[in-house]
Amino acid sequence: MSEINLKEIGLRISERRRQLGYTQEQMAEWMNVSVQMISNLERGNKSIRIENLIKVSSILGISTDYILTGNQGRIDVLDLVEQVEALSVKDYQLVRMIVEYCSDK
């Protein structure tokens, strides 16, 4: 079984929160916790309780598996597929080129 790395968990949460444009204050309010708790979580100073893991997952729209391990789950991939399907033809072609470029690395 792999070791849980709190700093990596915190980094994934922080990166996603920033991608969505949310502040630590907003996250704390939505989760009914202190800003200090969010800060400690994102810095990897504290482990996350199961009920908070579920809340973070829901708020950030990412799977608990991704938060804990960094592995994209089936739910994350299906969500991405839905977003790509909704793109214009031009944007779809751009995304496809980016994926092909990254796949060739």
pLDDT classification of 74: cutoffs 50, 70, 90:
low
Is 63 or 105 the better-scoring residue by pLDDT? 63
| pTM for this prediction | 0.67
Burial 27-51 (b: 16+ CB within 10 A, else e): bbeebeeeeebbbbbbebebebeee
pLDDT digits (tens, 9 = 90+) for 12-67: 999 999 999 999 999 999 999 999 999 999 999 999 999 999 999 999 988 888 89
pLDDT score recorded for residue 70: 86
